[in-house]
């Protein structure tokens, strides 16, 4: 499926001389992209330095909560770009198409192109392409599933999505629909979910997410769902492939200690948790996998990352 926006790209080579390891000039290629809307984004696309990192940024709870940007987050993204780090935005949001999510983030002040945003519907479209799929998902993401044959019965696969803050989940996850999904799985359909999030943080407080319905179907059918979004290895692998990155040189920044941190560390990545969004202090105390960095918010992360990469020599 073609992206909703196109861009014009120009490249320049810049030789920067600064103290780094290994020593010597840093050969950096900078790409300036201008989208249809006139937004200009400068991205470092090739760099060879231990002072640079690849960073996967969670979206909900790290950049914003219910559409309200977290103070300092947009400036932190700009600071990370300016320092030459590779960025990719990774989200389990399964309620809006990628093009709209990217546009909303730009409206909040974040600089990014559509193709820098990795979503769970995109992962489902790749994994289930060409299959007959019974999909219990929000209507808004159906355009992102255009490679699937969406059906009401005789499915090859059942796909469970997430909830949004409207009344639509009442219809999508009705007893009749869940019973239909149960029957299809019992008859041999493969079982997939976009994520297993139990809940997410909104401006109104905690809200139940689609992971509860996934767990119910797993209990009833005895079949474990295949997770397509975070923290599945396939989702992280796709993100690293997009950046041409290695796990040990990559950071995940998230507000979800229980799922994301453990999954990222098992994949070999470095991790940072922010005390915003769904973060709760008690989960940090009882977590099976501790993050490498704990930041009050994304605004604090660039300085903490710089200290980690340079051993504090930048101060």
What pLDDT digit, counting tens, does each position of 263-286 carry? 999 999 999 999 999 999 999 989
pTM of this structure: 0.81
- The top-level CATH class assigned to 124-227 is alpha beta
- C-alpha 112/C-alpha 118 separation (Å) is 12
Q: What angle in degrees, to the nearest 10, is found between the helix axes of 233-243 and 120-127?
A: 100
Can you give the residue ranges of every domain in the chain?
A: 7-121+232-310, 124-227
**Average pLDDT score, the chain:** 86
- C-alpha 206/C-alpha 30 separation (Å) is 41
pLDDT, tens digit (0-9, with 9 covering 90-100), for 126-161: 999 999 999 999 999 999 999 999 999 999 999 999
- pLDDT for residue 111 is more than 80: yes
Q: Are 221 and 189 contacting, i.e. CB atoms less than 8 angstroms apart?
A: no
Q: Which of 83, 148, 125, 149 minimizes the C-alpha distance to 303?
A: 83
- The residues, any chain, with a CB within 8 Å of residue 300's CB and separated by 6 or more, are 72, 76
Q: How confident is the model at residue 288 (pLDDT cuts 50, 70, 90)?
A: confident
Question: Any idea what DSSP says for residue 143?
Answer: G
Q: In what order do the strands lie in the sheet with 190-193?
A: 149-150, 132-136, 157-160, 190-193, 226-227
7-121+232-310 shares its CATH topology with 124-227: yes
Which CATH topology does 7-121+232-310 take?
Rossmann fold (3.40.50)
- The residues, any chain, with a CB within 8 Å of residue 64's CB and separated by 6 or more, are 70, 73, 105, 108
pLDDT, tens digit (0-9, with 9 covering 90-100), for 51-85: 789 999 999 999 999 999 999 999 999 999 999 99
Q: Pinpoint the alpha helices (H) of 11-91.
A: 73-82
């Amino acid at each position: 499926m073609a992206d909703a926006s196109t861009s014009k790209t120009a490249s320049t080579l810049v030789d920067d001389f600064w103290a780094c390891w290994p020593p010597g000039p840093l050969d950096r290629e900078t790409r300036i992209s201008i989208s249809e809307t006139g937004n200009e984004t400068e991205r470092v696309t090739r760099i060879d330095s231990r002072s640079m990192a690849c960073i996967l940024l969670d979206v909900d709870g790290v950049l914003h909560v219910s559409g309200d940007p977290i103070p300092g987050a947009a400036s932190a993204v700009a600071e990370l770009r300016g320092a030459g780090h590779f960025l990719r935005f990774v989200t389990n949001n399964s309620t809006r198409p990628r093009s709209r999510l990217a546009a909303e983030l730009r409206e909040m002040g974040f600089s990014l192109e559509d193709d820098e945003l990795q979503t769970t519907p995109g992962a489902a479209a790749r994994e289930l392409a060409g299959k007959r799929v019974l999909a219990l998902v929000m209507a808004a993401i159906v355009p992102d599933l255009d490679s699937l044959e969406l059906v009401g019965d005789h499915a090859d696969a059942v796909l469970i999505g997430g909830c949004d803050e409207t009344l639509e989940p009442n219809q999508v996850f009705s007893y009749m629909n869940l019973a239909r999904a149960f029957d299809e799985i019992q008859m041999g359909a493969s079982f997939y979910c976009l994520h297993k999030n139990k809940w997410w943080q909104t401006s109104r407080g905690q809200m139940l997410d689609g992971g509860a319905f996934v767990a119910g179907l797993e209990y009833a059918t005895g079949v474990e769902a295949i997770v397509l979004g975070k923290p599945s290895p396939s989702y992280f692998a796709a993100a690293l492939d997009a950046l041409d990155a290695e796990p040990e040189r990559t950071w995940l920044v998230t507000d979800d200690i229980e799922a994301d941190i453990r999954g990222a560390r098992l994949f070999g990545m470095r991790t940072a948790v922010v005390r915003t969004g769904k973060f709760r202090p008690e989960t940090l105390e009882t977590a099976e996998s501790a993050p490498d960095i704990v930041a009050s918010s994304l605004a604090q992360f660039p300085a903490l990352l710089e200290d980690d990469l340079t051993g504090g020599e930048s101060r």
